[in-house]
Structure 1
Amino acid sequence: MFNSSGAILQGQERSNWIRLRTLIFLRWVAIIGQLAAITVSQQMYNLQLEFGLCYLAIGVSVVGNLIAIFVFPENKRLNETENFMMVLFDLLQLSFLLYLTGGLNNPFAMLMLGPVTISASVLGLRSTILIGGGAIMLVTMLAVNHLPLVTESGEVLRLPDMFVFGNWAAITIATLFMGAYSRRVSSEMHSMSDALAATQMALAREQKLTDLGGVVAAAAHELGTPLATIKLTSAELLEELDDRPDLREDAQLIREQADRCRDILRNMGRAGKDDLHLRQAPLSAVLNEAAEPHMDRGKEIIFEERPGSGTAFQQPSILRKPEVIHGLRNLVQNAVDFARTTVWLESSWNENFISIRIMDDGRGFPPQTIGRIGDPFMRRRRQESDRPSRPGYEGMGLGLFIAKTLLERSGAELRFANGPEWTGDVPVMANRTGAIVEVRWPRRKIDARAGDNVVPLGKNRPIET
């Protein structure tokens, strides 16, 4: 569903999620209800209907279902066009039955809303508009043209014209409302599902990188001793082979390659420490790690610290969780994208809370979207002035959603504001006029030296083989 950057791949239609057997089952339910209604009207109320045509319309649905069952496999999933044709057939079949049974005088006319609701939930916008518009047209025709309901004595059963108009208006309004309502709800559910899938992929990627860093660090540590032995042995061979130049060259090559392996492992080991140490890091180190990919993007990133007083003066060591690093990295990226020249990363702490504020000197969040920040796929049309600073950026809001979801999972609370309207407990300098994001954890949630979060540091033991 997503590529490596978390964007939705084109060509994946929502209607592909619907199995043919699901619609077949729903149609069987409709067929049973239609047969029951026709039978009751004939046996109990002796209505004079065109029963031959009614059973013909129902029979067409039965034949269609049987063909679908025997021709297509059970796991058949419908594409957009096939789903549209199925729903359109049901709409036309129901309209024909209503034409034969009194039109809008028939209380079952409200069932016209069924195909509209289904199309709004699973089909694209164009198909939904066609189904909804077709339903309104058919209801309008049924209000004027239909076969009357006639009793056995010849009495015509019909509603007053005002009630027929009322039924038409109710069905038309309900078609528009139910269609719009179902589509909006299903669209938000799909967006949330997509965004959560992207969040899980981002977290899995960050977890994999963290695990890889631990493996690399352990390998660098464990291979240090055998490489030192190889180097020492080769040095002794060099001294003993002064009279054998051909073998001395081989010993020299062994020593050079051992030095090369040592340098490679040293560089790899810089990516992380032993597995135990990877679980925690000073607050400043985690913040530097999150900002590191954006340090060379043409904007100055300034780190500031506001320590607490007394026992809380010392900088805390926090849990080095992949979701924390990835979430902060997304927020820093957003700040760097929109800053004019400078981004400030301010960390503060006291005995109860640990906070990080990310500020820039850009134009800030659009006032009309501040209350919706963190919603997935929040589209906003780019202004022309945005294009030079963020070429190709479409403003989907997925990055902020991922950051917000991951950080909240770690126990943080996020606040979004602009510099001039910030109401926090720490003053904002005049030049920080852009967006402000505050990430705040209760200390017990993130402090690696408090409560259940204490990370045990024991002896480093060699890997057993």
Structure 2
Amino acid sequence: MSQPDLGLLEEGQRSNFIRLRTLIILRWVAIVGQLTAISVARQLYDLQLELGLCYLAVGVSVVGNLIAMFIYPEDKRLSEAENFLMVMFDLLQLCLLLFLTGGLHNPFSLLVLAPATVSATVLSLRSTVLINATAVALITCMVFVYMPLSTQDGTIFGLPDVFIFGQWTALVIALLFISVYARRTTNEMNAMSDALVATQMALARAQKLSDLGGVVAAAAHELGTPLATIKLASAELIEDLDEFPEMQEDARLIRAQADRCRDILHGMGRAGKDDLHMRHAPLSEVLREAAEPHENRGKTLTMEFAPLPGGGPQPQVFRRPDILHGLRNLVQNAVDFARTQVWIDASWDDRRIVVRIRDDGPGFPPHLIGRLGDPFLRRRRSDPGRNARPGYEGMGLGLFIAKTLLERSGAELSFANGAEEGEGTEGAPNGAIVELTWPVAKVVATVAPNTPLGENPLIET
């Protein structure tokens, strides 16, 4: 079963989500803040600053913003390279201003963290490393080379060397920590967002197929009567046109084409009648339908159905696309990793329905048991089970889709390995085990199985 294509959501294209207008607004805020700080330092504290050079540094940002505003449209999306250059420019401009105003003696030196945080959030790993390396190099230079802050009477403001060393150490550690923290958090959010998009795509596709099947079945049902009328009328014409062979041949052609339309609609109706007439089905049939695409893939599928103590007859459960698609993903995962056999067991009572999907494969990687169901998990390169399925990079997205869809239907999922439960004998299901538990009220149809569904609605044109 193919998974939704998420090629447009790859990490390298995340920067394309940022508008130039957003960075321009942020830069205007920074420019106003820089001008305010320079003015306050000069007027209120009488600091002797190189105002010409300071205003030149700020003016470069102003010119850059004006050029970007007049040359590019407001809705322009920046590429990876353009975003990198914008962030690098802001970092260099800020460090130049810090160099002119005391270096690390300036309390505003902590603003160096801002470009690093932005790069860790929206840029690739390579760009983030380059931004952080540049920031560390520049603040290291400013430990030794800077223009000191002084008043008109010659008093120089500065921190003791031990505090400067502490400031440098704190900035370097903060750069690394905040970058790693922001990047990991952003990657987690992006992965979850992408996986949710994939889940919605999978569910929407399954729902469309279900709706299409219902339309096809309804069309086959409604067109059956006019086609039968055409066939009857053509048969009468054949009998009445014995003296007109050419017209009789046309009537035979009409009957033959009516038969052909009947056969086509009959085949189409078989593909869609279940979605129209069976909104619910026995639990065993729903599980068989979910497993059907994987029955001829070289593995043996064994199904067992039995009530729990005190359980009644087999329940009628809803045949919803989310339930079928989620179960199908779990069965696919079991078949992919099984050596020879997959077991699907179902049991029930008056309160719950329990389904277990087991296989005789290597089982789930132990280091991932607690994280199964998270999107985009990856196997370790040293994992010995990695070669069991060549070209398979991870199982996070498929299990995430299955877990999300089934939990939406009210199920609780748990993952384990058979060997951990004492099922390690030869030929036993000692591989991966997935157990689903539904409350009866969530998935069992309240309508009796023999209750008529009513006539099919007419298809309006």
TM-score by length of 1: 0.92
CA contact (8 A) 2:416 2:434 kept: yes
Q: Distance in 1 between matches of 2:116 and 2:413?
A: 40
What is aligned with 2:134?
A: 134
What is aligned with 1:167?
A: 167
Moved more, 285-294 or 200-209: 285-294
* Closer, same or farther: CA 274–326 of 1 in aligned 2, 3 Å: closer
State the shift of 1:5 in Å. Answer: 3.2
SS in 2 for 1:154: coil
Are residue 336 (structure 1) and residue 331 (structure 2) matched?
no
Q: Distance in 2 between matches of 1:256 and 1:371?
A: 63
What is aligned with 1:302?
A: 302
* Closer, same or farther: CA 339–464 of 1 in aligned 2, 3 Å: closer
What is aligned with 2:344?
A: 345
Q: Distance in 2 between matches of 1:281 and 1:151?
A: 86
Q: How does 1:53-452 map to 2 (within 5 A)?
A: 53-242=53-242, 244-273=244-273, 277-310=277-310, 312-381=311-380, 389-422=388-421, 431-449=428-446
Q: Distance in 1 between matches of 2:11 and 2:414?
A: 36
State the shift of 1:462 in Å. Answer: 5.5
SS in 1 for 2:272: coil
CA contact (8 A) 2:329 2:398 kept: yes
* Closer, same or farther: CA 379–92 of 1 in aligned 2, 3 Å: same
Q: Distance in 2 between matches of 1:384 and 1:259?
A: 59
Q: Distance in 1 between matches of 2:294 and 2:324?
A: 13
CA contact (8 A) 1:374 1:404 kept: yes
Q: Partner amino acid for 1:76?
A: K
Q: Distance in 1 between matches of 2:360 and 2:30?
A: 61
Are residue 459 (structure 1) and residue 458 (structure 2) matched?
no
* Closer, same or farther: CA 382–207 of 1 in aligned 2, 3 Å: farther
SS in 2 for 1:272: helix
Q: Distance in 1 between matches of 2:290 and 2:38?
A: 69
Q: Distance in 1 between matches of 2:326 and 2:136?
A: 48
CA contact (8 A) 1:214 1:278 kept: no
User: Structure 1: which 5+ runs fail to align?
Assistant: none
State the shift of 1:7 in Å. Answer: 3.6
CA contact (8 A) 1:112 1:135 kept: yes
Moved more, 241-250 or 199-208: 241-250
Q: Distance in 1 between matches of 2:33 and 2:91?
A: 15
Q: Distance in 2 between matches of 1:170 and 1:325?
A: 54
CA contact (8 A) 2:149 2:156 kept: yes
CA contact (8 A) 2:3 2:398 kept: no
Moved more, 220-229 or 93-102: 220-229
* Closer, same or farther: CA 78–321 of 1 in aligned 2, 3 Å: same
* Closer, same or farther: CA 385–102 of 1 in aligned 2, 3 Å: closer
SS in 1 for 2:342: strand
CA contact (8 A) 2:215 2:272 kept: no
State the shift of 1:68 in Å. Answer: 1.0
SS in 2 for 1:273: helix
Percent of aligned pairs sharing the same letter: 63
Q: Distance in 2 between matches of 1:376 and 1:284?
A: 30
TM-score by length of 2: 0.93
Q: Distance in 2 between matches of 1:69 and 1:160?
A: 44
Q: Distance in 1 between matches of 2:456 and 2:340?
A: 48
CA contact (8 A) 1:276 1:457 kept: no
Q: Distance in 1 between matches of 2:203 and 2:131?
A: 40
Q: Distance in 1 between matches of 2:410 and 2:278?
A: 20
Q: Distance in 1 between matches of 2:425 and 2:306?
A: 13
CA contact (8 A) 2:360 2:427 kept: no
Moved more, 163-172 or 153-162: 153-162
Q: Partner amino acid for 1:144?
A: F
State the shift of 1:439 in Å. Answer: 1.5
Q: Partner amino acid for 2:306?
A: R
* Closer, same or farther: CA 377–279 of 1 in aligned 2, 3 Å: same
User: Structure 2: which 5+ runs fail to align?
Assistant: none
Q: Distance in 2 between matches of 1:428 and 1:289?
A: 30
State the shift of 1:236 in Å. Answer: 3.5
Q: Distance in 2 between matches of 1:455 and 1:113?
A: 68
* Closer, same or farther: CA 304–428 of 1 in aligned 2, 3 Å: farther
Q: Distance in 2 between matches of 1:461 and 1:6?
A: 36
State the shift of 1:347 in Å. Answer: 1.4
Q: Deviations over 1:143-188 (max 9, x none)?
A: 1111111122211111111000000000000000000000111111
Q: Deviations over 1:240-299 (max 9, x none)?
A: 445554444433333333333222222222223376534222212211111111111111
CA contact (8 A) 1:449 1:455 kept: no
Q: Distance in 2 between matches of 1:412 and 1:462?
A: 33
Moved more, 392-401 or 86-95: 392-401
State the shift of 1:428 in Å. Answer: 11
SS in 2 for 1:344: strand
SS in 2 for 1:13: helix
State the shift of 1:196 in Å. Answer: 0.7
State the shift of 1:37 in Å. Answer: 1.0
Q: Distance in 2 between matches of 1:410 and 1:374?
A: 16
Q: Distance in 2 between matches of 1:427 and 1:387?
A: 21
Moved more, 204-213 or 43-52: 43-52
Q: Distance in 1 between matches of 2:227 and 2:378?
A: 56
